[in-house]
């Protein structure tokens, strides 16, 4: 098997730098994928800097992968050489527990195998992600990319798309519902597009006044500057659902008070430091809920891709070269991304 060229962080304090590894052998149900594009998720940065305290170094991040099939195992039936496919955050799970049987592999009770920083269920090796020239993935965890979608713009759907689609779908967002999306980053901008396509009345909450115009262009009916208490107060008790994508610790009460009776705010952002505990009073007086949601299962990810194909939805991307990744991380920390960096993996191939 060809050596794989990649970018890895060697420890929490180092920048990402060129790295090579020998991929595992192609197994019977595997698909070998030449990576074309890989989105840059804020989780990649959290992991590369060990902010969740579970990173195994060296780490090769990247779980928004779109590529071309270059080989398949002897018993692989779902894909053939030449297909344009996607890989998201999961590459395996136990397949036996209740969650797996219900197509909710992300909640696998025996722990799903992450696309990177996971542990291969056969060899025990640590998995490496999409900042790589190729990946090898079991066919059951490979997704089909709708033909009408631009492959680079589709890459972020594999994490940012499904992580917002899944809770919007689960909490039944649609016509007649007033929905808030907090944070206009990678996840948030997909949340705005998807909630709009689902037919809801969408309100974007942003800390960045410079994003007001974009918020409306992307599908928000209203944009609220969350630092402006007066603007916030105008929406008290009115939201059916709020999806909070913020990647940093912040005050949750300012959003909880905007929920109507029985409303829910679902957190998908995973900041390094937890949020301060919200006020119990704000929850009990209107039977409001705070919830969490993790990416989405494989079946639902394919449904999301097909939904995006039908509505012609892709991510607004800024394409970068592989060696621009460290600068991209710094810009992501300043909320300066419009609205997802995507790495052109040909630039890694050319350098190798």
Residues in the site for ligand NAP, rule: CB under 6 A? 41-43, 46, 159-160, 163, 183-188, 206-208, 211, 245-248, 250, 268-271, 293-295, 332, 335, 337
C-beta separation of 86 from 309 below 8 A: no
| Euclidean distance between CA atoms 51 and 332, whole angstroms | 15
97 binds Zn ion (CB under 5 A): yes
43 binds Zn ion (CB under 5 A): yes
Q: Residue with CB nearest Zn ion?
A: 41
* Nearest-approach distance from CB 36 to Zn ion, in angstroms: 18
Instruction: List C-alpha distances in Å: 338 to 42, 190, 310.
Output: 13, 11, 23
Which is closer to Zn ion, CB of 41 or CB of 182?
Answer: 41
Q: Which stretch binds Zn ion (CB under 5 A): 35-43, 297-305, 326-334, 338-346?
A: 35-43
Q: Please report, for the chain, how many H helices and E strands are present, in that order.
A: 12, 17
- Which of 172, 171, 222, 170 has its CA nearest to residue 192? 222
* Nearest-approach distance from CB 334 to ligand NAP, in angstroms: 9
**Partner whose binding site includes residue 190, from ligand NAP, Zn ion, none (CB under 5 to 8 Å by kind):** none
Restricting to residues 128-167, which ones interact with Zn ion according to CB under 5 A?
A: 159
* Nearest-approach distance from CB 64 to Zn ion, in angstroms: 7
C-beta separation of 91 from 115 below 8 A: yes
**Partner whose binding site includes residue 97, from Zn ion, ligand NAP, none (CB under 5 to 8 Å by kind):** Zn ion
C-beta separation of 98 from 109 below 8 A: yes
Which is closer to Zn ion, CB of 33 or CB of 100?
Answer: 100
In eight-state DSSP terms, residue 26 is P
* Nearest-approach distance from CB 160 to Zn ion, in angstroms: 7
**Partner whose binding site includes residue 320, from Zn ion, ligand NAP, none (CB under 5 to 8 Å by kind):** none
**Partner whose binding site includes residue 245, from ligand NAP, Zn ion, none (CB under 5 to 8 Å by kind):** ligand NAP
Backbone angles phi, psi at 283, to 5 degrees: -85, -50
Angle at 49 between CA 164 and CA 182, to 5 degrees: 25
Sign of the Cα pseudo-torsion (315, 321, 322, 328, in order): negative
Structure-derived torsion over alpha carbons of residues 126, 130, 132, 136, reported in degrees to the nearest 10: 60
C-beta separation of 127 from 121 below 8 A: no
270 binds Zn ion (CB under 5 A): no
Which is closer to Zn ion, CB of 93 or CB of 226?
Answer: 93
244 binds Zn ion (CB under 5 A): no
Instruction: Give buried/exposed letters for 36-61 (b at 16+ CB in 10 A, else e).
Output: bbbbbbbbbbbbbbbbeeebeebbbb
Task: Count the site residues for Zn ion by CB under 5 A.
Answer: 9
342 binds Zn ion (CB under 5 A): no
Give the residues across from 132 on adjacent strands. 6
Rounded to a whole number of angstroms, the CA Rg of the chain reads 20
* Nearest-approach distance from CB 41 to ligand NAP, in angstroms: 5
* Nearest-approach distance from CB 248 to Zn ion, in angstroms: 16
* Nearest-approach distance from CB 108 to ligand NAP, in angstroms: 14
What distance separates the 2 farthest-apart alpha carbons in the chain?
63
Restricting to residues 77-96, which ones interact with Zn ion according to CB under 5 A?
A: 93-94
* Nearest-approach distance from CB 100 to Zn ion, in angstroms: 3
Which residues are at the interface with Zn ion (CB under 5 A)?
41, 43, 93-94, 97, 100, 108, 110, 159
């Amino acid at each position: 098997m060809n050596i794989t060229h990649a970018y890895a962080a060697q420890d929490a304090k180092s920048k990402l730098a060129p790295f090579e590894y020998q991929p595992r052998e192609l197994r019977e149900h595997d698909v070998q994928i030449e990576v074309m594009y890989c989105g840059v998720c804020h989780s990649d940065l959290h992991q590369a800097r060990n902010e969740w305290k579970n990173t195994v170094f060296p780490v090769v991040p990247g779980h928004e992968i779109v590529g071309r099939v270059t080989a398949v195992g002897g018993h692989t039936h779902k894909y053939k050489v030449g297909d344009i496919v996607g890989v998201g955050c999961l590459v395996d799970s136990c397949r036996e527990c209740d969650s797996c049987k219900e197509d909710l592999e992300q909640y696998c009770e025996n722990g799903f195998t992450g696309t990177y920083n996971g542990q291969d269920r056969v060899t025990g090796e640590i998995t490496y992600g999409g900042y790589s020239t190729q990946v090898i993935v079991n066919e059951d965890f490979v997704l089909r990319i709708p033909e009408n979608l631009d492959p680079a713009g589709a890459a972020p759907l594999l994490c940012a798309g499904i992580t917002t689609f899944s809770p919007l779908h689960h909490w039944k967002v649609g016509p007649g519902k007033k929905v808030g999306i907090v944070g206009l980053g990678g996840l948030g901008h997909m949340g705005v597009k998807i909630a709009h396509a689902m037919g809801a009345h969408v309100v974007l909450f942003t800390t960045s006044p410079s994003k007001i115009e974009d918020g409306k262009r992307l599908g928000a009916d209203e944009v609220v500057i969350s630092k402006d208490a007066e603007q916030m107060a105008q929406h008290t008790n009115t939201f059916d659902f709020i999806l909070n994508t913020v990647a940093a610790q912040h005050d949750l009460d300012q959003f909880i008070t905007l929920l109507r009776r029985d409303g829910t705010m679902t957190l998908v952002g995973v900041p390094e430091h937890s949020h301060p505990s919200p006020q119990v009073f704000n929850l009990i007086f209107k039977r409001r809920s705070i919830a969490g949601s993790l990416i989405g299962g494989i079946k639902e990810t394919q449904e999301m891709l097909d939904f995006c194909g039908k509505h012609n939805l892709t991510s607004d991307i800024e394409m970068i070269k592989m060696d621009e990744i460290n600068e991209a991380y710094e810009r992501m920390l300043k909320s300066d991304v419009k609205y997802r960096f995507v790495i052109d993996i040909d630039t890694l191939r050319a350098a190798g």
